[in-house]
Structure 1
Amino acid sequence: MQSFLEIAAQTIFSNHSKNELQHLQVILPSRRAVFFLKKALSDLSELPFFAPRIESIDDFILRVSGLTTLDNVDLYFEIYDILSKLDSGQSFEKFMSWVPTLLKDFENIDFSLVEHPHLLFKYMSEADAISRWELSEDYVFTTTAQSYFSFFDKISMVYEQLNQKLLDNKTCYRGMVYRKVAENPSLILGQESKKFYFVGLNALSRAEEKIIETLEKAKKSECIWDTDDFYMNSQNKAGKKLRAYKKSGKFGKWSFQNSYLKDTKKDVRIFELNNDSLQSKLVSNLAMESANKRHVIVVLDENQFLPLLLNIPSLALPFNISIGLPISNSQFAEILRLIIACFQYHEHNDTVKNHQTTFIKIIENPVLNVLIINEIGEEQLNALTNSIAKSKRLFFDLDWLAQNKVSSEIINIFFKKGSVNDCISAIELVINRFFDVQFKDFGDLEFVFANVLKNKINLIKEKIKAGVELNFKSFRSLTEDLLKNQRVPFEGESDTPLQIMSMLETRCIDFECVTIMTFNEGNLPSAKKINSFFTFDASKIFGLPLYSDQDAIMAYHFFRLLQRANKLNFIYLNGASEALGNKEKSRFIRQVEEELIVYNPRIKVSYPVLNFQNTENKAFKTGIFVEKDNLTRIQDFLSSKGLSATSINDYLSCSLKFYWKYIQKIRNEDELKSQIGTDVFGTIVHKVLENLDIPFLVSKAELGIAELKKQKESIQKELAIAIKENQKQFDFDNGMNLILLSVVEKILEKYFSKRENEFSEKFKVLGIEKELFAIDTFGETNVKLKGVIDKIESTGSFLKVIDYKTGKVAERDLLLTKDLSLTQILLDPEKSKLRQLIIYYYLISNNLNSLEKEFDERIDMNTIQLIIYSFRNLTANLTFNKSDFSHLEIMEATTSMLSSITEELLDKTQMFEQTEDNNQCKFCDFVQVCQRG
């Protein structure tokens, strides 16, 4: 099937002699489309000929206007220069918070050819508001409202003065140049080209419409559209503007309208993934599958670009990238942010010091790391890293660096105090040092990023010299805007079968195979509303763009891309992983599923289920698998070290984690932490409770309400002792640790309040951190089961087995699953809390005689209560109702669970394998190894 640009090239070529072609002007939506049209045109003749002038519409408009566009940073300063003369109290810091929105509004005013812009600003002013809302003339607005209305009076003057100033300097912003050309027909009609072809345009701004109308009236233009009956003969929003263009007839004869979406066979595969990291792997497989076809991978979420970029080159397929990489993704962007953040932090502190997290970021940044090594050597940097790890300090300063004999100009940059100019000098030093060293380890992109930043920093320096006053907050806002909007284009072989593009880059270009990544609501169509100072009613009255217009434009791009494709892959994330948040597949997928397949029965939709563990499905196999080549080590672990509730939980949630942690005994190195984690948090809570109960364990005295209250009053004292004796390496006088300490105190107080409220009779403490063992034999293997019970209490009626949890446990965690046996429930990875309580019950039963002697009490297994106190959910009743089962049933189910796990562990045919559940990976020690999370 011919592509649209091949059809357009054939049309233009057939309508003119070869001598006439050189006098034509062809205008397309993008530079990428220009490349492909030139190629299509060149394929039409074996003999050379002078081609038409072919340009993107932006390049064409700019060329005929004779103006030069300014980038956003320049424009911000120009606007501020005008505004500060109208409002001397306007700070650059506040200005930077809203000027990007203002500039976008100016763009839209000009693109939309608002006839009298001052009327729009007046519409938003106080006088017009009073009239519009029919308020009495003596109505007085609040000070805030008056400030809001007067803002538009000033902005009206800014708009007029900015336009005049830019025109005087022969410069412009994008909307302004379109307006100038649209309102000056001579600029277009005075061109040498005898005919103008507008190819593949769709949602035209009012300025673009007027330009084409001017040429059409002069009989010098022809539009070549790319449309389909599906949305042209219906109310589908993809054809909203195009239907109006066709009906109006103001753009001449309508061509072309096809019926590809109805008449062509298409294979649509919809992939649902719950793991973000699997998407790039799947796309790599889809790229290999379509290696010989024209294939586009459409990247909707910018965050997916780098993971994809890491996977695709390994396929050894030629590919081209049309997406400009945001400079905000570069190492230099991180350096810029680090330097500004340090200077800004030091500005408000008497002593110059950096938080440990910031210091680690500095020495681990790849660019800074290499520059520091170039100064002090790799050996000294390693020594510095070790010193940081051993120190356990929360803050570092120059004195500490001096004590450790570290002298690095690069590091010292981050321990300076000074003005914005000093901060800029620090940034320049890093950039210049980078150029001086010229490390080959960094690709060309980092050098491009560094060059771009150097030029922008020079521009900001010039503005400061001219009198613009910047504080660190405004400087930070300015650089963040720069990082967000500045993109570096990739250079590659443009005409490769595999193309990686954004949706806008696909305009006019056709592919046999289309893969759309992260095809979720919020990505396509975009969830972003149009930020504007103008209200909806003002925008509608004055013809400014609305969100519905943006939605319609993206709908057109999507359905146009489908027209000539025969294989379509839609990948969306279902949000099953908590980290992904609330995810829903795009409404455009639903339109294909519910409307398009009815419109065209030749479209087949399938929903492949990806079994990543199926070795026969090599196209989609992923994950990590370890064969059991040495059962002796597993048997030794079972008999000597033994299983516990924690190790069983690890095995059931991810057998690969179990293998690395318990069989290979791989442990994380002692990480540098200044902030206590959940493990330390839990240790502190347990230690305080243990210390409060030890006197009663030793004395065997009973506890009543009075004793519980005394324990509650002693919390603060015992907390200080626990920290002093057991957590010396942490700083509890500053930062988050100080807050967490307060949290520990509060939850312990709530715990004792709960114990007081549920108190019914006096009790004894029989055991604290009670360690129990049991040995079972399965086949020829002895299996040790162990557990440490947080607390055992006895009253006149019951024996309470208590487990403390600093995390959240809900009542549903202890509920039984219907239609499942107790053994099946115990093997469910989600039932870790219930499983732990039953293991405690099992261990007590196996140690019954020795415990009765130790406690000097008879233990009735029927009166045992299994209780969890969840410190994040103390209002919940977390007592397991074991009355649903007899003692024998519980013991047999636990034995059956142990037998099943032992059998699996000793089965050579079953490999240790990586879990597919991404939720299990978030806090796993091996997440970086598995590249999950």
Structure 2
Amino acid sequence: MTPFLYKIAEVFYAQYGNELYRHTFVFPNRRAGFFFQKYLAEIAGKPLFSPSVITIQELFASLSPYRPADKIEMLVMLYDHFGRISGSDESFDDFLYWGEMLLNDFNDVDKYMADAKQLFRNVHDFRSMDDDLTHLTEKQKEAIRRFWTNFMPVGESETKKKFQKTWQILYELYSSFRAELQEKRLAYEGMMFREVAERAGAGGLDSPGKHAGLAEQGNQDKPGFPDGQDRADKPNGQGEQSYDQSASYIFVGLNALTPTEIALLEYVKNQGIADFYWDYESPQVHDSQNRASLWVKDNLRRFPSKFILQDSTGNGEGGKTDAGRPEKTSIEVIGVPSGVGQAKHVTQILLRLIGSGAIPNPDEAINTAIVLPDERLLLPVLYSIPEEIEKINVTMGYGLSYSSISALMEHIAGLQRNIRESAGEMMFYHRNVLSILNHPLVYTSAKEEVEALKTYILTNNRIVVSDSEFPQHPLLQLIFRPLTAWHDIFEYIKDILTFIYNTLTDEKRVKEEAGDSTRPIDLEREFIVQYHKTVTRLQDRLHTARNMSLETCFRLLNKLAHSISVAFSGEPLSGLQVMGVLETRVIDFENLIILSMNEGVFPLKDPVNSFIPFTLRKGFGLPVYEHQDSTYAYHFYRMISRAKRVFMLYDTRTEEMQTGEVSRYFYQLKYLYPDYFNISERVVAYDVAAPEILPVSVTKTPEVLRMLDAFRKGGESFLSASLINNYINCPLQFYFTAVEGLYEEDEVRESVESDLFGSIFHKLMETIYSRYKAKTVTPDVLTSIAKDDALLTKLLEKAFAEYYFKQKDEPRPLLGQHYLIGEILRSYVKQTLETDKQFTPFEFVGAEYRFRTPYRVNAGLSVNFKGIIDRIDKVGDSYRIIDYKTGTGMTDFKQIADLFDGSKPNRPYQILQVFVYALFYAQEYPDVRLSPAIYYLRSIFGDPSPAVTCNKRPISDILVFMDEFLSLFNNCLEEIFNPEIPFTQTRNTKNCQWCAFKELCNR
């Protein structure tokens, strides 16, 4: 394989030798210029002055009197013109989205030299469509008629009328916007291109050039391109250029030329100072049925080459379509069921290429490229490159938006967005606060203060944090302060960046003194520097902006950060090449590994986001989807045309919007061009069969038994009814919670969840009945309580203050969601009182009755037990042991054994709990008669009686069941402490549904 650029270097060095420096080579990208110079050095074999190497964009910029305008500055400028022309008071926030769309449209209009006045013409009625169309082509006339005939808003929707109203001002907006840019000597790219092209079409480019190569053209006293009358080096006095004696521009590897580019190329061709070389060796790009061929014939006809390049078989190129190939390109198409999986498979491909000698020197590997249509796979790919390949050159860079400092700025934007004022203080939403506190750059800068503040927020359930509650740490004081105007954002962010940068610098110094690596710190500092520059740049551009919100300014900053890449260090002409699709233009590799070969990714499915309707875009020659499709087709077929080995990896997953479909290019290769390629297909199938999940169990080792001893009599730990239920449900869950003391991480409660709801209800009932302790409660008493809404409101506010707001002594009126939950609680309290009437008169004995006592299981085992009985009443000669439950459940059971059977899907564990309470109350008061009751709040309006029943018969004396209950209860406790019985998983997987530890068990 002879690379295209090598052929160019070979031909021109043979023609001009040491005089080659007088010429300027124009490429589609800078990377192509690096490779060209590399090949030129190899061919020369000695030092020589290099010719000038520029891109087509740089050439236009060098010929233009304008400077490139900043996008943000243009948006502000365009917004001002829009407000003046339309009279609209639309905010910059609302304008931003379609303002960007208009900038793109104006850029296309100029780059493709469309007649803006006719394109944005104001159509009042059908007759006006035939006015002043003399300067348009028939295609453009038909496009205008077809669009406006179908669109005329008379009698149509408001949307159409609004579109026409906006359309009416577009030409004036376009003209006045460009006029201001011209006045400031600024331009967007399309405007710059058009200005150069129009001057070229008018017969002369005499504006000062910025590129050094231009100064060498023709008359040295006259900058820019020379015309025929001013050339000092005319041979034979005829005004014709002598090709071998004069400098020239050589355009290499271009393809999809815009009308502005065509105009410039036509001009330099007519001046006799240009030559053109097209990378059209691939037979596929000459196939008229292939979209890649769209511009081939026209380019070859318009801009022929001076010299003939040799193709791969030694034949002249010259646009021939029958060029044979010495050997077929090997193409392997590999389906991988994930994006990261593709990156990991790159390792195997590279090792195979090294092993086969296809990469002869792994230290260099410059003959191999990894192409990433999806830039998100860059980091996974870099982590997947084997150690054998030491040098890697990444063309793509790493997006600033992916950096940790960018993530911190997004958290800060969210913080400022959600600030509210209350009682004269600024309040910060806890989720935004915690996100910032947990960010590594903040945490490492203020560890002690961050930990203290996080603990304070969780302990006090602070949904919002006031500015007075933040510790006096400089960084925290810089971050957690409210911004009142968008102008303040820039200095605010720069202060934060400066502080973090200085902190990292101090940390770097410490590490250097200790001899540790500082690369991660260096990278973070570089990102901070780049972000600081971005903020300063935005600040400079927005100094004249008006009517902007904080959110819009933060959004602009985020958008700007997304457009910036921090370049990786590396030698561009050495090592494995990792690049995007556009970076491959004109460059050839023997080994190509292309990832994300999925339809919609490569070729990219990116519809034109434009205010100009498709019909008009097409009629006026503006780019549409077919243009993009042809461009990508050319890039693909050119890329693989000289490769020996091509690996195409695609994602086989079909999830959400992802189809898992391989790119159309693969099917074209397979069915249209099988004579040119040896194609193989395979799918990398991971073994997704679920491996046998081994049961998880914990043997009672001496250490585990030592921890269990804490529950024995005299120890510091206590068993409870809920822990016994945990053990019956799942012994392993009991081990995690009771023995190891594991628990779910505390979170700030934004809503009143079920456990908190239950705690507040318990507090309400306790407070209500505590006034009647040792007194007789009658129906009249219950009725009076239920009617006393002022009392209930006061109790609700106190309960919320204690359990939810965590400010027991500061009750406050309930508002919003809290008010609604309070009303629900009020209704439950009233219905509970109504249910209690059926047991009146009764004596209220106590609420929240607590016991902590040793319990003797057998001669060798006594354990500590504790519990809280929600309520105890005396009805006649019987004491009711009452338990409140916020959910639903059963009050009936068939036999005592059911309470201890963990295999049952609906084990009545609530009944076991109330039996345990009765057991320990009976130990303290052995002569009383006990009957259990459970109040289920969710069914309290429909269930007439909360009494626990056995086979539908109320239990009036629990002592009847106690012998059987004690036997099973003691067996359960003995099992817990039996060293021979491990803690095992439950056999009832329904118990795992809401278990916090199910991932540990692979359930």
Q: TM-score, normalised by structure 1?
A: 0.66
Check conservation: 1:182, 1:207, Cα contact below 8 A.
Answer: yes
Distance in 2 separating the partners of 1:510 and 1:922: 57
In the alignment, which of 272, 289, 302 is matched to residue 235 of structure 1?
289
Q: 223-232 or 734-743: which moved more? A: 734-743
Write out per-residue CA displacement over residues 730-779 of structure 1, whole angstroms, 9 at most, x where no aligned residue. Answer: 9998999999999999xxxxxxxxxxxxxxxxx9963499996999xxxx
Kindly state the Cα deviation for residue 181 of structure 1 after the two structures are TM-superposed. Answer: 2.2
Check conservation: 1:6, 1:37, Cα contact below 8 A.
Answer: yes
Distance in 1 separating the partners of 2:739 and 2:583: 50
Distance in 2 separating the partners of 1:493 and 1:608: 34
**Match in the other structure for 2:121:** 122
Q: CA 1:164–1:130 in 2, change beyond 3 Å: closer, same or farther?
A: closer
Q: CA 1:926–1:422 in 2, change beyond 3 Å: closer, same or farther?
A: farther
**Match in the other structure for 2:476:** 410
**Match in the other structure for 2:418:** 345
In the alignment, which of 627, 634, 656 is matched to residue 556 of structure 1?
634
Q: CA 1:217–1:106 in 2, change beyond 3 Å: closer, same or farther?
A: same
**Match in the other structure for 1:21:** 20
Kindly state the Cα deviation for residue 203 of structure 1 after the two structures are TM-superposed. Answer: 1.4
Q: CA 1:526–1:730 in 2, change beyond 3 Å: closer, same or farther?
A: farther
Check conservation: 1:353, 1:415, Cα contact below 8 A.
Answer: no
Q: 60-69 or 500-509: which moved more? A: 60-69
Write out per-residue CA displacement over residues 522-560 of structure 1, whole angstroms, 9 at most, x where no aligned residue. Answer: 322223211111001110111000011112211221222
* 2:449 aligned partner, one-letter code: Q
1:95 aligns with 2:164: no
In the alignment, which of 163, 177, 192 is matched to residue 162 of structure 1?
177
Check conservation: 2:292, 2:631, Cα contact below 8 A.
Answer: yes
Distance in 2 separating the partners of 1:738 and 1:255: 80
Distance in 2 separating the partners of 1:238 and 1:666: 66
Check conservation: 2:110, 2:190, Cα contact below 8 A.
Answer: yes
In the alignment, which of 674, 695, 710 is matched to residue 749 of structure 2?
674
Distance in 2 separating the partners of 1:736 and 1:64: 65
Kindly state the Cα deviation for residue 514 of structure 1 after the two structures are TM-superposed. Answer: 2.3
**Match in the other structure for 2:107:** 107
Distance in 1 separating the partners of 2:899 and 2:408: 54
1:209 aligns with 2:262: yes
Q: 146-155 or 97-106: which moved more? A: 146-155
SS where residue 605 of structure 2 aligns? coil
Q: Which has the larger radius of gyration?
A: 2
Distance in 2 separating the partners of 1:512 and 1:739: 70
Q: 463-472 or 540-549: which moved more? A: 463-472
**Match in the other structure for 1:766:** 892
Kindly state the Cα deviation for residue 73 of structure 1 after the two structures are TM-superposed. Answer: 1.4
Percent sequence identity is: 20
Check conservation: 1:340, 1:423, Cα contact below 8 A.
Answer: no
Write out per-residue CA displacement over residues 585-635 of structure 1, whole angstroms, 9 at most, x where no aligned residue. Answer: 233354257426634463333334345999xxxxxxxx999999998889x
In the alignment, which of 305, 308, 321 is matched to residue 378 of structure 2?
305
Distance in 2 separating the partners of 1:739 and 1:547: 54
**Match in the other structure for 1:882:** none
Structure 2 unaligned spans of 5+: 131-144, 206-213, 218-223, 227-245, 309-317, 355-361, 509-517, 709-723, 762-791, 807-812, 827-888, 911-948, 954-981, 986-991
Distance in 2 separating the partners of 1:444 and 1:322: 20
Structure 1 unaligned spans of 5+: 615-622, 651-657, 689-716, 746-762, 776-784, 794-852, 858-901, 906-919
1:223 aligns with 2:277: yes
Check conservation: 1:524, 1:586, Cα contact below 8 A.
Answer: no
Q: 439-448 or 101-110: which moved more? A: 439-448
* 1:344 aligned partner, one-letter code: R
SS where residue 589 of structure 2 aligns? coil
**Match in the other structure for 1:429:** 495
Distance in 1 separating the partners of 2:332 and 2:151: 62
Check conservation: 2:590, 2:642, Cα contact below 8 A.
Answer: yes
* 2:398 aligned partner, one-letter code: L
Distance in 1 separating the partners of 2:93 and 2:481: 24
Kindly state the Cα deviation for residue 322 of structure 1 after the two structures are TM-superposed. Answer: 0.9
Q: Which structure has greater helix proportion?
A: 1
In the alignment, which of 468, 478, 481 is matched to residue 556 of structure 2?
478
Distance in 2 separating the partners of 1:363 and 1:426: 17
Q: CA 1:583–1:66 in 2, change beyond 3 Å: closer, same or farther?
A: same
Distance in 1 separating the partners of 2:23 and 2:895: 88
Q: CA 1:88–1:419 in 2, change beyond 3 Å: closer, same or farther?
A: same
Kindly state the Cα deviation for residue 94 of structure 1 after the two structures are TM-superposed. Answer: 2.4
Residues 171-190 of structure 1: pairs in structure 2 closer than 5 A: 171-185=186-200, 186-187=204-205, 190=224
**Match in the other structure for 2:336:** 272
**Match in the other structure for 1:894:** none
Q: CA 1:282–1:134 in 2, change beyond 3 Å: closer, same or farther?
A: closer
Write out per-residue CA displacement over residues 224-255 of structure 1, whole angstroms, 9 at most, x where no aligned residue. Answer: 32441124124121222224434667778845
**Match in the other structure for 1:583:** 659
In the alignment, which of 583, 600, 616 is matched to residue 505 of structure 1?
583
Distance in 2 separating the partners of 1:462 and 1:31: 29
SS where residue 184 of structure 1 aligns? helix
Distance in 2 separating the partners of 1:247 and 1:277: 45
Distance in 2 separating the partners of 1:611 and 1:489: 38
Distance in 2 separating the partners of 1:741 and 1:559: 69
Distance in 1 separating the partners of 2:343 and 2:743: 28
Check conservation: 1:120, 1:538, Cα contact below 8 A.
Answer: yes
Check conservation: 1:197, 1:224, Cα contact below 8 A.
Answer: no
Kindly state the Cα deviation for residue 25 of structure 1 after the two structures are TM-superposed. Answer: 1.7
Kindly state the Cα deviation for residue 52 of structure 1 after the two structures are TM-superposed. Answer: 1.8
**Match in the other structure for 1:71:** 70
The number of residue pairs the alignment matches comes to 731
**Match in the other structure for 1:539:** 617
Q: 59-68 or 261-270: which moved more? A: 261-270
Distance in 1 separating the partners of 2:188 and 2:895: 71
Check conservation: 2:368, 2:592, Cα contact below 8 A.
Answer: yes
Kindly state the Cα deviation for residue 355 of structure 1 after the two structures are TM-superposed. Answer: 1.8
Residues 574-653 of structure 1: pairs in structure 2 closer than 5 A: 574-575=652-653, 581-588=657-664, 590-591=666-667, 594-595=670-671, 598-600=674-676, 602-611=678-687
**Match in the other structure for 1:12:** 12
Q: CA 1:310–1:565 in 2, change beyond 3 Å: closer, same or farther?
A: same
**Match in the other structure for 1:383:** 452
Write out per-residue CA displacement over residues 152-185 of structure 1, whole angstroms, 9 at most, x where no aligned residue. Answer: 3433223223333333433221112222222223
Check conservation: 1:510, 1:565, Cα contact below 8 A.
Answer: yes
**Match in the other structure for 2:344:** 281
Distance in 1 separating the partners of 2:726 and 2:152: 83
* 1:339 aligned partner, one-letter code: I
Check conservation: 1:344, 1:472, Cα contact below 8 A.
Answer: yes
* 1:167 aligned partner, one-letter code: Q
Q: CA 1:248–1:59 in 2, change beyond 3 Å: closer, same or farther?
A: closer
Q: CA 1:602–1:101 in 2, change beyond 3 Å: closer, same or farther?
A: same
Write out per-residue CA displacement over residues 307-352 of structure 1, whole angstroms, 9 at most, x where no aligned residue. Answer: 4445548776321111133322223323333334333333687752
Distance in 2 separating the partners of 1:348 and 1:126: 54
Distance in 2 separating the partners of 1:744 and 1:604: 69
Kindly state the Cα deviation for residue 503 of structure 1 after the two structures are TM-superposed. Answer: 1.2
Q: 226-235 or 199-208: which moved more? A: 226-235
Distance in 1 separating the partners of 2:77 and 2:23: 38
**Match in the other structure for 1:396:** 465
Q: CA 1:153–1:224 in 2, change beyond 3 Å: closer, same or farther?
A: same
Q: 446-455 or 206-215: which moved more? A: 446-455
Distance in 2 separating the partners of 1:88 and 1:210: 38
Distance in 2 separating the partners of 1:790 and 1:426: 59
Distance in 2 separating the partners of 1:176 and 1:311: 43
SS where residue 54 of structure 1 aligns? strand
1:522 aligns with 2:576: no
* 1:385 aligned partner, one-letter code: K
Q: CA 1:35–1:464 in 2, change beyond 3 Å: closer, same or farther?
A: closer
Q: CA 1:367–1:631 in 2, change beyond 3 Å: closer, same or farther?
A: closer
